[in-house]
Structure 1
Amino acid sequence: MEEKLIYIDGEFYKKSEAKISVFDHGFLYGDGVFEGIRVYNGKIFKCKEHVDRLYQAAKAIYMEIPISKEEMIEALKKTCRINNIREGYIRLVVSRGVGDLGLSPTKCPKPTIVIIADSIVLYPQEMYEKGMKVITASTRRNSPQCVDPQIKSLNYLNNILAKIEANRAGVPEAIMLTQDGYVTECTGDNIFIVKDGELITPPVYLGALDGITRRTVMALAKDLGIPVYEKVFTLYNLYNADECFFTGTAAEVIAVTEVDGRKIGNGEVGPITKKLMEEFKKLTLVDGVDIYE
């Protein structure tokens, strides 16, 4: 099989030869930002939204990306074309760049841009049909007063520690709570519950990423006439929900049928979740920036 080509600062390298400096602050300190982006039907899904969020996150950490948004979109398209990606996943990374062994970002004159276009399978198909079992992690979500989870940074250790708990429990995902015990999000997905026909998701100020798929599903629900609320809720509300599902670029929309041993609703994928999964799939076929135009 031919090796994928990786974009690094305007050039392409074979996967086996694609390297960054060990002095890059992204490697040394997790200093940088990233986006995971889907490609469907030869189109980059929600491309502008992902690029906008990347630049907003870079601004939040006081890092200036050295190319324009328009140039970034062209680089994404070129990386997909050169790897013949029509259905797949893009990982876009911008690190602080090469510096010294000190913490100061002022020693890093230029950020490093890396684009990987490949495939991804996060969960088995059976889980999309029957739902998944998950746990609540004891690891609390980072507080927005410390490292704001709205910044999609290269430091994902908080999420990884919770993912380790999920792995040890034999489940694919873990729900994370705030210091006060409110539900925020999962290690890599946003969370929604359905109660009495209403769709509820935690507000981002609690410590959740403002997910692109999250926003998309909220818009789809409103178009379907389903009331949508961003509200604080606890595990009590989650355990007693009629339905629960997760959203994410890699995960898409996937139902949760059991949390911490408690059955959610009747233990099956609920009707509102099913409908939103269907509508999301339809949207992915038509929405996006055309790679091969």
Structure 2
Amino acid sequence: MRDTARVVAYARRIDDGQREDLHAVLRGLGADVTAASSATTPTYTVLTLDVGLAAAATAVRSGLARWTAASGVGAALVPSPTYAPGPKLLIMDVDSTLIRQEVIELLAAHAGREAEVAAVTEAAMRGELDFAQSLHHRVRALEGLPATVIGEVVDRIRLSDGAEDLVAAYLHAGHRVGVVSGGFSQVLAPLAERLRLSFAKANDLEILDGTLTGRVAGAVVDRREKARTLRAEADRAGVRPEAVIAVGDGANDLDMLGAAGLGVAFNAKPAVRAAADVALDLPDLDVVRHFAGL
């Protein structure tokens, strides 16, 4: 008996030639298409194909990656437990994923040290620096800033395209959505309330007498803590790990992506793209709901 899975192709637009080409590629990979559907929004088109697999999933993923490189159309192989009926969980990173910016850089701009902090952030997200050490280094740049800058930063945050639609689709279907961030709870809390997220976890900036001390209070939310939070929230909600989708962009997200049934690298660094199940380069988070069958 063949394993069943789903291929989700996505791009700004998918033409008839690309559709036919994808069917041919799948036949060449030993995948029989059993059902097909498509959806078009003002910003993207998604083609969903249910398939039976004769080859191993890794071989099919490799073939789809080659097709994506040649066609410019993204394609994800989604295992059946991820989109099958039942409780689901979506867990996301925040900076450069749920939102467009890096919060610590917005804060550092108030201290005139944005460029310095941005360089360290980039190195940490590429996996070149230990995240906890890099976070402590960057937070020291905030020492002495009035706590009022937090509210100013909150006002500047812009959600990634499709973020609100994705969260709403999950919540409307009765599923849980949460975020776990290497950023800061004081900035994340208003955003979590606005989106009605099921849970939100981040670092706490230490504040004394209305001033940032340049330190983080408590343990750092690092890559291990992100994966631990995923497992704990899935267990709390009665969701199988195979029905969890995790989305992130940096090295700090790698353990979380690996712990999920489907790990999605969103406009991500090369090391994260290589390790994830799906590389979503189309800058619209709403595409993710199609991986879950929503």
Same fold (TM over 0.5): no
Q: Which has the larger helix fraction? A: 2
TM-score of the pair, normalised by structure 2: 0.28
